[in-house]
Chains A and B, each alone.
Chain A
Amino acid sequence: MSETTEIAVAAPVSPGRAKFLRFLVRDAGVLLALVLITLFFSATAPYFATSGNALKIFVQIAINTVLAAGMTFVILTGGIDLSVGSVLALCTVVGATVMINESLSPAVAITLALLACMATGAVCGFLNGWISTRWKIPSFIVTLGMLNMAAGAARVVSDNSTITGLPQSFVDFGNLIIGGFLPSIFLVAVLVIAAGWFVLRFTVFGRMIFAVGTNDEAVRLSGHNPDFYKVAAFTISGLTAGIAAMVYLLRLNIGSPIAGVGYELNAIAAVIIGGTSLSGGKGSIIGTLVGACILQVLSTGLQLLGVGDNFKPIVIGLVIVLAVILDAYRERLLRKIR
């Protein structure tokens, strides 16, 4: 063929440099934002740049990070999961109920509680995915329904009361700070992120998640069953809601039917700020971790600066919108680089 097409598609930069630029724009952008925000608050907010405050932030982001990890899978396939907050509530009361069973030794009770949390969450997530794919209903609606059902179920299970009296060894583990700098529950969050990163990046399953989010019809016509991966993504989101419930129990030591209100929105915000596209197919779970950090750093920093509780949500809301606007620019930049 003549050089026609080559000119039309010629890449503006060399492949190696393009790769680096792509990394900079796609992945390092959010990280840079986090660093800048942290530096800003370190310079302006009293007590912000202290080890005590850093520990506090690590503790506070754990729950949202775990939820957002699962949410990343769902959003990558082009779905949304609004139910994770109340699924978390349901899991906390299920887990706490199992754990306070006095006929079991603490070790057995804790293990069973963990399994019960994960199973409850996974079942809720599976139902979300199965219903939305089986009847082709937008996941927005199905998970909105699940949000209500799980909240109701949490009240039924707990008889509408807070469950306390968790085993002391469990409570101690929740307060543990490994090596003086790594809170145990933050470690849990990091492990969940690491597992998600590994799956998305190195496995066939992870590749399929991206492919389904990019074009599920093309995936179907290539001989796969995209619904399987969508259901799996929702199940993973439910599963992480269960794990997040255990983190909640570790941190607050109570199972509560009114836990988790609004958590789904924080999780979605972390995913979006982290650069995952709401239309699916593009994003990274490391970005999600960074997104969760940005949210918490902002929240803590603003508080230390003395910005009142009324203004704080306004600023955070603006940041979320800003992140999406930047995302649109990022897309344009990436197209030019590729």
Chain B
Amino acid sequence: MDTILSLEGVGKIFPGAVALSEVSLSIARGETHIILGENGAGKSTLIKLLAGIYQPDSGRIAFNGQPYQPKTPHDAQQSGIRIVHQELNLLPYLSIAENLMLESLPRRAFGIVDRKALNSRAVALLREVGLDIDPRTRVEALGVAQMQLVEIAKALSYDSKLLVLDEPTATLTPPEIERLFSIIKRLKAKGVTIIYISHRLHEVFEIGDRVTVLRNGRLVATRDLHGLSVPDIVRMMIGRDIADEFGFDARVVPGKVALSVANLKRDASTPEISFSVRHGEILGVAGLVGSGRTEAMRALFGADPKLDGVVEIDGKPVAIAAPKNAVRHGLSLLTEDRKGQGLLLDMAVDKNITITDLSKIARNGLLNRRTEAAAANDLVGQLRVKASSIEQAVRNLSGGNQQKVVLAKWLFRGTSTLILDEPTRGVDIGARREIYQLLWMLAAQQKGIIMVSSDLPELMGMCHRIIVFSRNRIVGELARSDFDQERILSLAYQEYVRP
């Protein structure tokens, strides 16, 4: 095997936690190597070592036969390793071309940027990744998928020998993923070595040659993907089987209508939509990213303004002009952007939980810290939030535990209907399953649950009923007995393929 990158006994220790220990791995030149693992398994630490963001505490890394010890991300780039991080690092107010060649803009005399050369080189790079856009377009005008491709084009512009893609499909829709995969295959055909990090198991079979699974900072195994199955990999990732991760509970039977929305109109250009959810029902909301599902939920909740529409709770019309009205009527919104909109990241677990209703832990405006701690400990135990104590800052919890804290804060307030937007994004399999169980517990308590998700198997596994958004419209509704992936997808695309 012609090895391009080899790791020997690589370890990284953080105060109090071993992030990576004794990892030995070799990547063959020209292969597409998949790295899998739950959150906290050590994937991101590994990438940061390659990127020169962290330095290993033990072990050796060799790249192209030479010792590889990058001190900074710049060093890594110089050696020919290029990393496309999960969080994109483009400058929104510059053009695509400028972003692509930021580190070495073509120049004329006196350091003036040579626009012609800049744009023509950019066009060539964009063609490599199959993007047909004017390179003078500002990056802010692009969709996430396009930005991702620009990042990859940028990586290619440096003649990279090794391309590391960190969860590139996390925010992409199925056709965008297909396009990305065809580009990856093309790059591979040209001899570029690719390390591909993901936790979407199903997709890795299409592009990967070999897979390495990490668990608890250790390497579990490196295997040929050929001949492996999804359950095989899951077993390697979590060390045991997961029979049915969703745990659909047939004993939970939907009752009366909890929340109904009639003729909700966000603004003059969007169509009216109507839907409802029953007590004890889990209603799935499917659709592409940008199809108006998130926007509809936010408008319903009063988070964004709406033009028109009637919201009824238990048959009674209620006026919702701001989130505080919605909350008062028993609605809860778990936002898509958990860190940006759901949590007080630098505050402790207990303070995050009680923020929804401080009057419960106060008398005459004075806080009772003991009552607060008791209430928080109670919920932390009930939801099995893994934190060192309720005084730990939420920032330092894993994605799954952060999501549990968001759930806990709404349970603290007391809620009759929950709207969850992408509740398991960035949550590892183990915690995901616990969140599903919690949702079933809430459904059994006759709460209405609206679940917005891009993960179709998740919706089909969890929901009693699914409504499908396509270009701001609700284009279909399916009962559980009619669930069919193909059908839901074709509904989701319906309004986009028509002229």
Q: Which A residues are closer than 8 A to B by beta carbons?
A: 1-13, 15, 18-19, 202-205, 207-208, 210-211, 214-215, 217-225, 281-282, 335-336, 338
Q: Is the interface of A mostly helix, strand, loop or mixed?
A: helix
Distance in Å: Cβ of B494 to nearest Cβ of chain A: 31
Chain A residues lying within 8 Å of B327, measured Cβ to Cβ, are 222-223
Task: Check A214/B359 contact, CB under 8 A, given A7-B216, A9-B397, A223-B323.
Answer: no
- Give min CB distance, A24 to chain B, whole Å: 16
| A19/B391 in contact, CB under 8 A | yes
Partner among A4, A6, A217 whose Cβ is within 8 Å of the Cβ of B428: A4
Closest CB of chain B to A11's CB: distance in Å?
4
Considering the complex, give the chain A residue whose CB is closest to the CB of B324. Answer: A223
A217/B340 in contact, CB under 8 A: yes
Q: Are A9 and B430 in contact (CB under 8 A)?
A: no
Neighbour of B238 across the interface among A2, A15, A223, CB < 8 A:
A2
The answer to whether A211 and B355 touch (CB under 8 A), given A1-B430, A4-B38, A218-B343, is: yes
Min CB distance B166 to A, Å, is 17
* Minimum Cβ distance to chain A for residue B1 (Å): 31
With known contacts A1-B386, A211-B344, A223-B356, A10–B365 Cβ distance under 8 A:
no
Q: How far is B39's CA from A211's CA once the two chains are assembled, in angstroms?
A: 28
A5-B401, A9-B396, A202-B367 given; A222·B323 CB < 8 A: yes
Q: How far is the CA of A205 from the CA of B366 in the complex (A)?
A: 9
Task: Tell me how far the C-beta of A135 lies from the nearest C-beta in chain B, rounded to whole angstroms.
Answer: 16
Question: At the interface, yes or no: B52 with Cβ under 8 Å from chain A?
Answer: no
Q: For A336, give the chain B residue with the smallest CB separation.
A: B15
CB-CB under 8 A for A204 and B358, given A5-B401, A218-B343: yes
B333, B340, B366, B388: which contacts A9 (Cβ < 8 A)?
B388
Known: A2-B430, A222-B409. Contact between A204 and B359, CB under 8 A? Answer: yes
Assembled-state Cα–Cα distance A281/B17 (Å): 28
Asked whether B322 lies within 8 Å of A214 as measured between CB atoms, the reply is no
**Residues of chain A within 8 A of B391, CB atoms compared:** 15, 19
A235 to chain B, nearest CB (A): 17
Complex CA gap A282/B398 in Å reads 22
The CA-CA distance from A103 to B66 in the complex, in Å, is: 92
Question: B256 an interface residue at 8 Å Cβ cutoff?
Answer: no
B117 close to A (CB within 8 Å): no
Chain B: minimal CB distance from A197 (Å): 14
Which residues of chain B have C-beta atoms less than 8 A from A281's C-beta? 344, 346-347
Q: How far is the CB of A316 from chain B (nearest CB, A)?
A: 29
With contacts A2-B238, A4-B428, A8-B39 taken as known, whether A210 is within 8 angstroms of B365 at the C-beta atoms is no
CB distance from A31 to the nearest CB of B (A): 22
User: Once the chains bind, are A15 and B389 in contact (CB under 8 Å)?
Assistant: yes
The answer, yes or no, to whether B176 is at the interface (CB within 8 Å) is: no
Cross-chain contact A207 with B386 (CB below 8 angstroms): no
> What is the minimal beta-carbon distance from A206 to any residue of chain B, in angstroms?
8
Given contacts A225-B322, A225-B324, contact A5 B431 (CB under 8 A): yes
Known: A7-B216, A9-B388, A223-B324; 17 extra A-B contacts, CB below 8 A, are: A4-B216, A4-B430, A5-B428, A9-B17, A9-B392, A9-B397, A11-B392, A203-B365, A214-B345, A215-B343, A218-B340, A218-B343, A218-B344, A222-B356, A223-B326, A224-B355, A281-B344
Contact present for B333 and A11 (CB under 8 Å): no
Min C-beta distance of A77 to chain B, whole Å:
13
Check A9–B386 contact: CB distance below 8 A.
yes
Complex CA–CA separation, A13 to B15 (angstroms): 9
By a CB distance below 8 angstroms, the chain A residues around B310 are: none
A166 to chain B, nearest CB (A): 37
Query: Could you tell me the distance between the alpha carbons of A4 and B216 in the complex, rounded to whole angstroms?
Result: 5
Q: Tell me, in angstroms, the Cα distance from A8 to B333 when the chains sit together.
A: 28
Q: In this complex, what residue of A is CB-closest to B369?
A: A202
In the docked arrangement, what's the CA distance between A335 and B393, Å?
A: 9
User: Are B392 and A221 in contact, CB atoms less than 8 angstroms apart?
Assistant: no
**Residues in B lying within 8 Å of A, measured CB to CB:** 15-19, 38-41, 215-217, 238-239, 301, 303, 322-324, 326-328, 333, 335, 340-347, 351, 355-356, 358-359, 362, 365-367, 384, 386-389, 391-393, 395-398, 400-401, 409, 413, 428, 430-431, 434
Contact B16 A10 (CB under 8 A): yes
Question: Does the CB pair B15–A9 fall under 8 Å?
Answer: no
A9 touches B387 (CB 8 A): yes
B40 touches A7 (CB 8 A): yes
| B residues less than 8 Å from A336 (CB atoms) | 15
Contact A338 to B393, CB < 8 A, known contacts A202-B367, A223-B324, A224-B324: yes
Closest to B397 in A: A9
State in angstroms the CA–CA spacing of A244 and B477 once bound together.
65
By the criterion CB–CB under 8 Å, are B358 and A208 in contact?
Answer: yes
Q: What is the chain A residue whose CB lies nearest that of B341?
A: A217
**A7 surroundings in chain B (CB, below 8 A):** 17-18, 40, 216-217
CB proximity of B381 to chain A, nearest CB, Å: 15
CB atoms of A221 and B386 under 8 A apart:
no
Contact B326 A5 (CB under 8 A): no
Give chain A residues whose Cβ lies under 8 Å from the Cβ of B347.
210-211, 214, 281
A5-B386 in contact (CB<8A): yes
Q: Compute how far the CA of A338 lies from the CA of B17 in the bound complex, rounded to whole angstroms.
A: 13
| Chain B residues positioned under 8 Å from A3 (CB to CB) | 216
Q: Interface centre among B346, B356, B362, B397, by most A CB within 10 Å?
A: B346
Q: Which of B239, B341, B387 contacts A218 (CB 8 A)?
A: B341
Complex CA distance for A188 and B428, rounded to whole angstroms: 55
- Shortest beta-carbon distance from B401 to chain A in Å: 7
Least CB separation from A221: chain B residue: B323
CA distance in complex: A222, B347 (Å): 15
- Check if A2 sits within 8 Å of B340, measured CB to CB: no
* Contact (Cβ within 8 A) A221 B335: yes
Would you list 15 pairs from A and B whose C-beta atoms are within 8 A, ordered by A residue?
Answer: A1-B434, A7-B40, A8-B19, A9-B397, A10-B388, A12-B17, A204-B359, A207-B355, A214-B347, A217-B340, A221-B301, A223-B326, A223-B413, A335-B393, A338-B396
- In the complex, chain B residues whose CB is within 8 Å of the CB of A202: 366-367
- B38 lies within 8 A of A15 (CB): no
- A contact residues around B356 at 8 Å (CB): 222-223
Contact check: which of B40, B343, B351 meets A8 at CB < 8 Å?
Answer: B40
**Which A residues lie within 8 Å of B389 (CB)?**
11, 15
Question: Nearest Cβ distance between residue B419 and chain A, in whole angstroms?
Answer: 11
Measured CA separation A219–B395 after assembly (Å): 16
In angstroms, how far is the closest chain A Cβ from the Cβ of B225? 23
Residues of A within 8 A of B341 (CB): 215, 217-218, 221
Considering the complex, give the chain B residue whose CB is closest to the CB of A15. B389
